[in-house]
A and B are shown apart, each in its own frame.
Chain A
């Protein structure tokens, strides 16, 4: 398969990358791990005139924790996130998403910035990022702006980023005590597979009284973008976490999704699985919340 021709740039700083994206506005695309973009170019779905590679920008790959926030550079690879003890401790659901993505070979190339930037409805990292309330740090020649990840996705392959903007980092407020999250994805195989349904849940308990203070549920692969489930969240907030409550929340989540039918599964099956995964990820979130005090 022959890649279409393009001009290639390899800036070594974020500001140089922004400069290039501004100068070639509309005809340049960012290249990170290439596991989405190069496939689309080989299939002739995309044909950008120029590629601006982010692969030689060391400041993009930092993963660090300071003052209760986790800073993940957009260039951090999925395998680095999967292997990070810091991510496993402070944002376990993101770590689970990273371990579920693609194959070891893909994870060594793929970046978190590319997973968000590609805006695929079935992508493995966005649901966890959404329930953690992650904020994207966007950079362009005009400066820096911050956008909650929930406002970033606009449709399959469509985002709120301006043509010359890049994601520099993802910032997560480390959950406090009595808070936890879970992530599960369902595919046909364990590796090398597109998700049929993927769900992340987050619960924050009111200390020992065990009343749910905050709840967020995000559903992947069942709409044009990853979706929050406001109905499930409304069922949960202010209640004591019980199996019966999680059943009600799971039913509510099924009402908030808009699955389609394709060769991977029927819409009915997907809707049922949304309920199953919502219930299981809530159970995971509760177990983690109880262990983090």
Chain B
């Protein structure tokens, strides 16, 4: 039986009916059309599905949509403002930290959680913060440089 939930995604309120076995990543991508969040392994291993749930970076493939009811979700689509791209997004472009882009939403959101909590992190802190996000093409060095750049 579908359950009616209310949640805030990128500052917009939604009211949706979901089956209990729908995951948050499927709600975002399939029902709300927010396909910037990627789905790789669907098992918590790759971090492609990373979103911020009440400000904390989590694997949205391991959260039920119903568990996100009455909570606040931020996805990659919510980072750009009227002033333009988020400094992290800009730095990823400038430092060549994106190739196929499949890991980028997750990388950027993990980095955002870090910078929100610790605006000038040391490199080991950056490496730790993205240790749940796998990249199969760029290599991590440029990603780390981009995050350092955004923190400057």
Interface residues of A (CB under 8 A from B): 1-8, 10, 31, 33-35, 38-39, 42-43, 51, 53, 55, 79, 102-106, 108-109, 190-192
Contacts and interface: CB of A to CB of B under 8 A. Distances in A.
Given A39-B44, A55-B67, A105-B47, A191 B132 contact: yes
Contacts of A79: 56
Q: Is the interface of A mostly helix, strand, loop or mixed?
A: loop
A42 B63 CA distance: 12
A185 B58 CA distance: 23
Given A5-B19, A8-B20, A104-B131, A192 B45 contact: yes
Given A7-B20, A34-B62, A51-B20, A106 B67 contact: no
Given A34-B63, A39-B44, A102 B19 contact: no
Nearest to A9: B20
Contacts of B59: 35, 105-106, 109
Contacts of B58: 105, 108-109
B42 interface: yes
A103 B131 contact: yes
Interface centre among B21, B22, B133 (most CB of A within 10 A): B21
Interface centre among B56, B57, B64 (most CB of A within 10 A): B64
Nearest to B19: A5
Contacts, number: 84
Contact of A8 (B23, B42, B53, B66): B66
A7 B19 CA distance: 9
A42 B1 CA distance: 19
Given A1-B42, A6-B21, A34-B64, 6 more contacts: A7-B1, A31-B64, A34-B62, A38-B64, A42-B42, A106-B59
A167 to B, nearest CB: 19
Contacts of B66: 8, 10, 53
Given A1-B42, A2-B21, A8 B132 contact: no
A2 B43 CA distance: 11
Contacts of B22: 3
A1 B57 contact: no
B21 A106 contact: no
Nearest to B51: A105
B3 interface: yes
Contacts of B63: 34, 109
Contacts of A31: 64
Contact of B62 (A4, A39, A53, A192): A39
Contacts of B21: 2-6
A106 B110 contact: no
Nearest to A39: B43
B29 to A, nearest CB: 14
Contacts of A53: 64, 66-67
Interface string B31-72: 000000000001111010010010011110011101100000
B129 interface: yes
A6 to B, nearest CB: 6
Contacts of A34: 62-64, 67
A6 B56 contact: no
A273 to B, nearest CB: 22
A79 B67 CA distance: 19
